[in-house]
Chains A and B, each alone.
Chain A
Amino acid sequence: MNVGPAHYAVLSAILFVIGLVGVSARRNVLAALASLSVLFSAPVVAAVGYAESGGGSIPRLGDALALFTLAALCAELLVGGAVAALLWRRAETADLDELAELDA
């Protein structure tokens, strides 16, 4: 059975949903950050799968978009990790519910 753009798109949708659940439902700041990484992987899979399966009229555009998404993923990990460390230093908690109460 041939693997086409639809297969990559479905995998991308599943990853997106798993990441979205993690971001919105986890209480730990690092766990939410990790779920955000999973969420970021979804468009990478979709763009590359679509480009490599011969879809689209612009050659390699999917690869270029995936590269941007990967750069954004790394930026999110590095800046998010630094923010998590900063929050821990200031509030000594990694619980998003507690941090929201502190903010209020």
Chain B
Amino acid sequence: MKMIIGGAYQGKIRCACEYFGFRESEMVNGSICDFEEVFAARCIKSYHKLISRLLAEGVDPVAFTEKLCEANKDVVIIMDEIGCGIVPVEKAERLRREATGRCGCIIAEKSDTVIRVICGIPSFIKGAPPQV
């Protein structure tokens, strides 16, 4: 399992395409996909959006993520880092950030490679670049 993180619009998708040979069109989009789709996906983008949607539907995202990591061990998961800035006053927003952080930690733990992208530049914060 592999994970690509970073702030919004940093070049995470391009990084996934370059390192793992995906096309963006074949990625499952966490903003709009059916929840069940992720279990067979090769690459999921906007996983942080999926977490928001799970919460909105009353599904526990932590249990969901654990199940995903168990069922789809070779998936590449792309998600935004969202934990910076002010802790939101609104409770639902707070819960969303917490859930996203917890899920991120689970995915990072299960991943052999974690790449953080900033200014379009990937840093391997866990594991090493794939051998070409």
Q: Do A and B come from one complex?
A: no
